[in-house]
Amino acid sequence: MKEYNFTEIEQKWQNNWRAQQVYKVTENPNKPKCYVLSMFPYPSGAGLHVGHPLGYIASDIYARYKRLKGFNVLHPMGYDSFGLPAEQYAIQTGQHPAVTTENNIARYREQLDKIGFSYDWDREVRTSNPEYYKWTQWIFIELYNSWYNPNTDKAEPIDTLAKQFSASGFCGVDDSVLTGGVELDFPPFTAQDWNNFSEEKREEVLSGFRLAYLSEAYVNWCPQLGTVLSNDEVKDGVSERGGYPVERKLMKQWSMRITAYAARLLNDLEGLDWTESLKETQRNWIGKSQGASVHFNVQDKPFDIEVFTTRPDTIFGVSFIAVAPEYEFLPDLLEGDYVDDVMQYVEQAKNRSERDRMADVKRISGAFTGAYAIHPFTGKEVPIWVADYVLAGYGTGAVMGVSAHDSRDFAFAKHFNLPILPVVKIPAEHDLNTASYDAKEGQLTNSDFLNGLDVKDAIKKAIEYIEKGGHGKGKTNFRLRDAIFGRQRYWGEPIPVYYKNGMPQCIPADKLPLVLPEIDKFLPTEDGEPPLARAEKWMWNESKGCVDSEGYPIETTTMPGWAGSSWYFLRYMDPKNNTDFVGQDAVNYWRNVDLYMGGSEHATGHLLYVRFWTKFLYDRGFIPENEPAQKLINQGMIQGRSNFVYRFIWSYMGGNSDVEEFPPLFISSGLIQKIDNPEIQSLIITKANSIIKRFDPKGSLMMIPVLDNPIVKYRSLHVDVNMVNNDILDIKAFMAWREDFKNAEFIFEDGKYICGSEVEKMSKSKHNVVTPDNIVADYGADTLRLYEMFLGPLEQSKPWSTQGIEGVHRFLKKLWRLFYDAEGNVIVTKEAADKKELKSVHKLIKKVGEDIEHFSFNTSVPAFMICVNELMDLKCNKHEILENILICLHPYAPHITEELWATLGHSGSIADAQFPVFNAEYLVEDSFSYPVSINGKHRTNIEFSLNATQAEIEPVVLADELVQKWLEGKTPKKIIFVKGKIINMVV
RNA sequence: GCGCAUGUGGCGUAAUUGGUAGCCGUGCCAGACUUAGGAUCUGGUGCCGAAAGGCGUGGGGGUUCGAGUCCCUCCAUGCGCACCA
C-alpha cells in the first residue's frame, strides 16, 4: 500500500475481527482473568458524541493491554435500554418505546463499531429484553423474600424470621442501629401470639422486615413526569431529567430497604480503589452520625418524645423541644385552643413543597404546642414546639433545642424569644448574642455531673448516664433513606407482584418473565392510574399461572431505571443462561469487575444501588464477592466548545422599509471585541451603507455614524461547529446552512471570518456537538483513539477541541513510513538492532507498560511520538524493533498495528501477541551530564562516568571555568553530590 | 457554610515523585521542495533584556544544599453535599 489509507485499513480489520471472532472470550481456568467494564449507555436519540467514547477508549486500551499481558479479558458492552426519554418521546409521537429504543441501539452500535473496540458482542445485554429482565424480576422476588438480620449482619430468607417468630416470638429488635426502620415499631409478641395471628397480620408484621416492601410514605412526586422519583433523581427540588418541580406526596409505594446496608455500604468504601471524591460523595450521601437517642417524658401525658442528638453533652442546655410538622404523635400533644392553631400551622408547613422549603431556609416558622416535656436530669419543664426546620424523615422527627450550641436551634430560639443556656465555656472572642457556639471543643459548665469535662469526654459520660438512667441510649443514625422502587411509568420492568385480597403475592419464579403488556397510549389513565392499568389483560390467573383478563390485579407500577443496571455486570459473565441469572462456574471465575469506568454523575445513584444489590446477592450466597468493582475510574466530561457569529442588527435613518429586505450581515469576532472603538464603528457603518446603497440607489436610507454614541448593535448566534475550523468560519457552508443566510454579507478581519467561542455542555441546541463519526471519516478511528487520550489526564474534564489532532494523525503517517517508502515498497529489514535503537524501543516498552498500569493513558502518546521520531532520525526500519513498537501501540491504535503486523509477515491477529518484556540493560548509561548548581541555581553541565565518586568529580568541577566564574574566588562550604542526579555547591 | 478536586508558555499538556521546569503536540516565526495551494521536511519559539544576565509553576510565608512537588496561610475555578440535630 502506497500510503496510510486508514478508511480501507480500518474497515478491513473490523470485518476481519468479526469474521474471526477475535474478541470472543470464554472462561479459561488456565489463565488469570481480568474483567474490564465501562458503564453501559442509555441509548438516547442523539447518538454518541465525542465525549462518550473517552471512557470506552481508555477501558479498551486497558483490556487490550491486559490481553497482551496474558490475561483472559472479559470486556463486554450493552444497553441500559429502559428509561424515561424513550417514553416521553413515545407520549409525544405515539411511537412505541421499544421501536425507538431499537433504532437508537442500532445507531449506537454503528458508531461504536467504527471506533474499533474489542468488545465480545456475543455477550451484549439489554435491560429491556425480557430474557434479561426476567432475572431482574427474579432478584426483586428474592429481595421481597428476604429480611436483614441485625445479629448476623446479613440478609436471610424471610422464612428464618417467620421460624424465629413462631419459635420465640418477638421481644423488640436490637435497635442499636437506627437506620430509619429496618424494623417497624411492633409491640413485642410471644411465639403463641404469632401462631395465633391471622395470615394478614403475619404478613403485615413480615412486611415490616422485607428488603422489598410496600409502604405508605412521603415520596418525591413529579406531576409533569407523572411519576415518583428517588432521592438521587431529584436535584435542588426539581427532577434531574427535565428539571420539573417535585412535590412531597404521601403514597403507597414499593421501596427497597437499602438503609439496612447503610453501615456496610459506608464501611466497605474503605477497601475500594475508587477516587477519594467519589467515596466522599457516597459517605456524605449515607451520612452517618453518632450520638444518642433520649426520651423526654411529656407532662401529664402517658408517652414520651424521643429525640436524636449528636451532642448529648449539651443536654443541660436544652431550652425547648421541637418536632416536625409531620410528627406522628403531634395531635396527641395538643389540647384546647392549641389544637386549631397548631394544626393550622402544620397544614401550611406540610403543603410547602420541598422546593419552597429549600428556597427560604432562612425563614423561621413554628408554633408552640402548649405542652411541656420534663427534662430527664433536671426535672424542669421544657416547652414543646412544632418547627418546620425539623425534618420528619431524619432521626426521630424530633430534636432537643440547645440554642447556645446549635445554629439552627439558636436562630429558632432568637426568633421566638426562648432562653439561650450556654453549657460549654464560650471563648472570650465569641459573642453569644449574635451566634451560637457550635464547635465541639471546650469545657462543660452549668451541667451538673458533666462540669469541667472536655466535650469529647462529656459526650461519653452523658451517654453513660442516659443509658444508666433508662432515658435512652447511644445510637448511630444515617441520612440515607430507603429507595422508592415503583415508577408510575410504562417503559420499565413490570414488578412481578399481584394482589390477592389486597395482599401482595409474588408471581412464581418459574412463570417469569412477567412481560410488559401492550397498551394503546403511554399516558396515565383518566383516573390517574399508571399506564399499565390501560392494558386489556393485566390480571394474574393463579390456576392457569399466566397473565389473563381475569384473576388478581397485577401491580401497575414498574421498576426504576436503576433496577436493571444494579446487576448487569453479573449477567455479562453468563448472558445466555436461561436457568440462572448467572451460572456458578462463570461467576466463580469472573467474580467481579477489575476496572470499572464511568461518569461520576452516578455516585449516589447507580453506584450505591449496584453495591447494595451485590451485597444482597452475596449475603444470600448467590455470588462470591460483596463489591461489584474493586477499581473505579471516573472519566472526565468532554464539554462542547460553541462557536458564535455576530449578526448586525439593521437600524437606519430615513424610510420605513422592512428590515428583512437587507441581507444578513455578520461581523467577525475580533471587531466585535473592539466594538467600542470609533474606527471599528465607522468601518461597520461604511460597509452597512454600501449594502444599503445597493438596495436603495437614491440614497434616502443610510446608517448615520454617531461616533460618540455607538449605534452598531448585534446579536450573537450559535453556529454549527462543524462549519468552523480553528474559529475560522467556512463561508460557503455557512451560507448554505440556512435559507436566509444564502445572501449573507460579512465584515472580515484579515480576509477571514473569525467566530467567537465559549465552553458549554455539548448539546444539539448549542450546535456544538461533534460526533466521533466525523472524526473517524476525516482521520480514522486510530487517530480518534490516540487523540482522545492525548487530550490530557482521563479524569479531567476538558472542552473538545481538534487543535492538535493533526499532530497525532501525522504521527501515524510517520509510523507508516517506517514500513513503506514513498512508492509503497516495504522497507523493513531483518538487520540486527543496535544499542541506540534498542534503547529507544525499551524506553517505550517501559513507559507504556507503566502508564497503562497507572491508567495514565495520556502520557503514552508522546512516548510513541518520541520513539518514532528517534527511529526516523536513526533511519531504523528493523523488523525486531518495529515489531515491538506495534505491540506497544496496539491497545491505542488497533487497526494500523494489525495492518503493519501483517506487513511484517504475521498471519494471526496482533491481539494474540505478547507484550514485549522490558530489559533494563538497554537503558543503562555509563556516563551522565551532571547539572552543576551553585547555591541551588543551575549554572552548567559537566559529563562524568556514572561510576565516578564525589572525590573524583570534585577537583574537576572546581577547575571548571564556568564554576570558577560563579564561585567568584570563594571556596564552597559544602558540595552536595547525588549520584546520577546533581552536583550542588553551597557558597 | 462544610467536603473534595484543580491552578505550570498563546493553547492542550509533561516533569524520573524532593534533584537541569516546560518533554510531546499545537499555534506562531524563518527557511527548503513546489507554478501555486496542500502535503512533506529543517531550524527557532516561557517572559524581560541589545547583551551580560535577571525573572518564572495562582499570591504570601516556611522547611531544605535544593521545592511545580513537602508544610502553613490566603485567593481563584470546578464538582458534591447542605435546616441531617
The rounded percent of chain A whose pLDDT value lies above 70 is 94
Counting Cα atoms < 13 Å in the Cβ hemisphere of A666 gives 26
Residues A492 and A82: beta-carbon distance below 8 Å? yes
User: Is A188 strand, coil or helix?
Assistant: coil
Reading the block at residue A348, the C-alpha cell is 401550611
**Closest nucleotide over all strands to A856 (CA to C1'):** B14
The contacts of residue A735 (CB under 8 Å, 6+ apart) are A741, A742, A743, A744
What are the residue ranges of helices labelled H in A126-198? Answer: 130-144, 158-168, 191-196
pLDDT, average across residues A603-615: 93
For A417-426, write each residue's pLDDT tens digit.
999 999 998 8
| Å between CA of A220 and C1' of B38 | 61
Lowest mean pLDDT, pick from A42-51, A147-156, A665-674, A939-948: A665-674
Q: Alpha carbon of A440 to those of A321, A424, A455: distances in Å?
A: 21, 9, 6
Alpha carbon distance A983, A584 (integer Å): 62
For A775-803, write each residue's pLDDT tens digit.
999 999 999 999 999 999 998 888 888 88
What are the residue ranges of helices labelled H in A69-119? Answer: 84-93, 97-115
**Residue A232 or residue A750, greater confidence:** A232
| Å between CA of A860 and C1' of B68 | 21
Q: What pLDDT does A971 receive?
A: 80
Alpha carbon distance A403, A432 (integer Å): 10
For residue A912, pLDDT over 60 is answered with yes
Q: Which helix (H) or strand (E) holds A497?
A: strand A497-500
pLDDT, average across residues A335-344: 88
**Closest nucleotide over all strands to A234 (CA to C1'):** B81
Measuring alpha carbon to C1', the residue closest to nucleotide B14 is A859
**Closest nucleotide over all strands to A795 (CA to C1'):** B5
Domain boundaries, chain A: 13-139+562-634, 288-478, 639-757, 772-911, 925-986
Residue A943 phi, psi (nearest 5): -85, 130
| Å between CA of A642 and C1' of B14 | 28
For residue A171, pLDDT over 70 is answered with yes
Measuring alpha carbon to C1', the residue closest to nucleotide B27 is A803
Look up cell 507504556; give the residue.
A848
Model confidence band, residue A708 (pLDDT cutoffs 50, 70, 90): very low
**Closest nucleotide over all strands to A983 (CA to C1'):** B19
The rounded percent of chain A whose pLDDT value lies above 90 is 47
For A103-154, write each residue's pLDDT tens digit.
999 999 999 999 999 999 999 999 999 999 999 999 999 999 999 988 888 9
Mean pLDDT of chain A: 88
Reading the block at residue A809, the C-alpha cell is 494523525
Q: What pLDDT does A352 receive?
A: 67
Residue A412 phi, psi (nearest 5): -65, -45
For residue A664, pLDDT over 80 is answered with yes
Residues A702 and A689: beta-carbon distance below 8 Å? yes
| Å between CA of A790 and C1' of B24 | 10
pLDDT, average across residues A868-881: 92
For residue A937, pLDDT over 60 is answered with yes
For A747-769, write each residue's pLDDT tens digit.
887 777 888 777 778 888 788 88
Q: What pLDDT does A586 receive?
A: 97
Look up cell 430534636; give the residue.
A399
For residue A275, pLDDT over 70 is answered with yes
| Å between CA of A750 and C1' of B48 | 30
| Å between CA of A757 and C1' of B59 | 30
pLDDT, average across residues A952-967: 83
Query: How is domain A925-986 classified at the architecture level of CATH?
Result: Roll (3.10)
pLDDT, average across residues A709-725: 76
- Rounded to an integer, what is the distance from CA A191 to the centroid of its chain? 48
Give bridge partners of residue A639 from the DSSP assignment: A799
Alpha carbon distance A409, A393 (integer Å): 18
Q: Please, which positions of strand B sit below 7 A from a protein CB?
A: 3-5, 10-15, 19-21, 23-27, 39-42, 54, 65-67, 78-81, 83-85
Burial class (CB in 10 A: 0-12, 13-18, 19+), A217: middle
* CATH 3.40.50.300 matches A288-478: no
Measuring alpha carbon to C1', the residue closest to nucleotide B2 is A284
For residue A774, pLDDT over 50 is answered with yes
Where in A748-856 does DSSP place strands (E)?
A: 756-760, 798-799
User: Is A176 strand, coil or helix?
Assistant: coil
**Closest nucleotide over all strands to A817 (CA to C1'):** B40
pLDDT, average across residues A939-946: 86
For residue A660, pLDDT over 80 is answered with no
- Rounded to an integer, what is the distance from CA A206 to the centroid of its chain? 35
For residue A613, pLDDT over 90 is answered with yes
Out of 3.40.50.1100, 2.60.120.10, 3.40.50.450, 3.40.50.620, select the CATH number for domain A13-139+562-634.
3.40.50.620
- Rounded to an integer, what is the distance from CA A25 to the centroid of its chain? 29
Residue A241 phi, psi (nearest 5): -90, 115
Alpha carbon distance A431, A610 (integer Å): 48
For A478-529, write each residue's pLDDT tens digit.
888 888 898 888 999 999 999 998 889 999 999 989 999 999 888 888 777 8
For residue A879, pLDDT over 80 is answered with yes
Residues A837 and A871: beta-carbon distance below 8 Å? yes
For residue A706, pLDDT over 50 is answered with no
Q: What pLDDT does A707 receive?
A: 41
Lowest mean pLDDT, pick from A21-30, A153-162, A230-239, A934-943: A230-239
Alpha carbon distance A181, A478 (integer Å): 11
Q: What pLDDT does A236 receive?
A: 72
Most confident of A230-244, A903-917, A951-965: A903-917
pLDDT, average across residues A27-54: 93
Query: How is domain A772-911 classified at the architecture level of CATH?
Result: Orthogonal Bundle (1.10)
Measuring alpha carbon to C1', the residue closest to nucleotide B78 is A797
Long-range contacts of A942-945 (CB under 8 A, 24+ apart): A942/A983
Q: What pLDDT does A658 receive?
A: 46
For A972-985, write each residue's pLDDT tens digit.
888 888 888 888 88
Residues A16 and A8: beta-carbon distance below 8 Å? no
For residue A568, pLDDT over 60 is answered with yes
| Å between CA of A784 and C1' of B40 | 22
DSSP per-residue letters across A903-932: HTT--S-GGGS-PPPP-GGGG--SEEEEEE
User: Is A430 strand, coil or helix?
Assistant: coil
Measuring alpha carbon to C1', the residue closest to nucleotide B24 is A862
- Beta strands A798-799 and A638-649 are parallel
| Å between CA of A57 and C1' of B33 | 39
| Å between CA of A973 and C1' of B15 | 30
Q: What pLDDT does A659 receive?
A: 45
Residues A298 and A382: beta-carbon distance below 8 Å? no
**Residue A751 or residue A208, greater confidence:** A208
**Closest nucleotide over all strands to A937 (CA to C1'):** B66
Alpha carbon distance A259, A213 (integer Å): 13
| Å between CA of A631 and C1' of B15 | 26
For A402-413, write each residue's pLDDT tens digit.
999 998 899 899
| Å between CA of A867 and C1' of B68 | 26
For residue A377, pLDDT over 50 is answered with yes
For A582-597, write each residue's pLDDT tens digit.
999 999 999 999 999 9
